[in-house]
Amino acid sequence: MQLQQLRYFVAVAETRHFTHAADILGVSQPTLSKQIHTLESSLGAPLFERVRGAITLTVAGETLLPLAQRMVADADAALDAVRDIVGLRRGEVRLGATPSLCSSLVPGILRTYREEHPDIQLHVSEGSSQDLIANLMAHALDLALIVQPEHGVDPVLETTDLLRESLVVASVAAEPPPTVARQLELVELRHTPMVMFRKGYDIRDVTLHACERAGFTPKFAVEGGEMDAVLAFVEAGLGVALVPSMVLANRPLLRATPLAPPGMRRTIALAQRRGAVLPHAAAALRDVVTEHIASGRLPFGVRALSTSATDG
């Protein structure tokens, strides 16, 4: 018993006419009659009988009809659901990103994605790169925008380098700059109060290691915040902070002072599980991410990289 045969049976049963049913189905009447006969043979019982030129259902036909109608309806619903997902008319995507990227790069990406696929449900998880990597490995995310770890990611994952971003010194724009030169030597901050991110935050470790290499231990004015809190503390005049250049694009109260060469940079990468077939919604988001980067709509201090997957 095949779905197509059930569909033919339902059409004849509902129209009570072979010719009309054949027209509705777009098949010839001989083809329809042959399929009905094959179905009757497989069931071992006739489904229709002709009385005075009219077609009626047999007891077997009446028993089969509601079951066949439900099976055909379920099959049509399943087909529509798959077509909706493939056609990006329905579905969901789970994206992870670090707080600095959520406040700078991600909104523009999601705006473009939403314009192109308004019916896809978006789930965004904000966290450290370490947490996002763990969530990817646990299948809790489809994609994640992370800071590329110095020694790469777990082999279970693969990453595509997208951007190289400079870290700058954020300070209050209305106050004197932290240096009289155009660029600041990191050692000049040895006596300057600094606002420091919480433990486990990507930039915290980078900042502490850079200060150590420069020969000093930074003086903390306040520590423990995430990106929005750190920027607010700097705006309040509590101290300066080393932050990604992107996050200062819409912060008119803050000044960005570049670091003298070699400076400090980080690489932003798109990560996913290696070998995983992404859902259509997630694959479309991946394309939007790479197109957004390639468009060149990037703030000062950010340079797009040629997108290529790298091993963990």
Whether residue 309 is contained in a domain is answered as no
Residues 261 and 287 in one domain: no
Residues 257 and 174 in one domain: yes
Range of the domain at 110: 92-152+274-298
The answer to whether 255 and 173 are in contact (CB under 8 A) is yes
Residues 13 and 52 in one domain: yes
Domain count, the chain: 3
Going residue by residue through the chain (312 aa), what tens digit of pLDDT does each one get?
788 999 999 999 999 999 999 998 888 999 999 999 999 999 999 999 988 778 899 999 999 999 999 998 888 878 767 776 777 777 889 999 998 899 888 999 999 999 999 988 999 999 889 899 999 998 899 999 999 887 778 888 999 999 998 999 999 999 999 999 999 999 999 999 999 998 878 789 889 999 999 999 999 999 988 888 999 999 999 999 999 988 898 899 999 999 999 899 889 999 999 988 888 889 999 999 999 998 876 665 678 886 555 555
Predicted local distance difference test score (pLDDT) of residue 206: 87
Whether residue 159 is contained in a domain is answered as no
Whether residue 219 is contained in a domain is answered as yes
CA nearest 255: which of 168, 191, 166? 168
Residues 49 and 96 in one domain: no
> Any idea what the CATH number is for the domain that residue 77 is in?
1.10.10.10
Please, is 125 exposed, middle or buried when counting C-beta atoms within 10 Å of its C-beta (0-12, 13-18, 19+)? Answer: middle
Predicted local distance difference test score (pLDDT) of residue 301: 62
Residues 146 and 284 in one domain: yes
- Final residue before a domain boundary, out of 86, 109, 136: 86
> Any idea what the CATH number is for the domain that residue 216 is in?
3.40.190.10
291 CB-side CA count, 13 A:
13
Residues 38 and 121 in one domain: no
Residues 205 and 254 in one domain: yes
Whether residue 250 is contained in a domain is answered as yes
Residues 206 and 59 in one domain: no
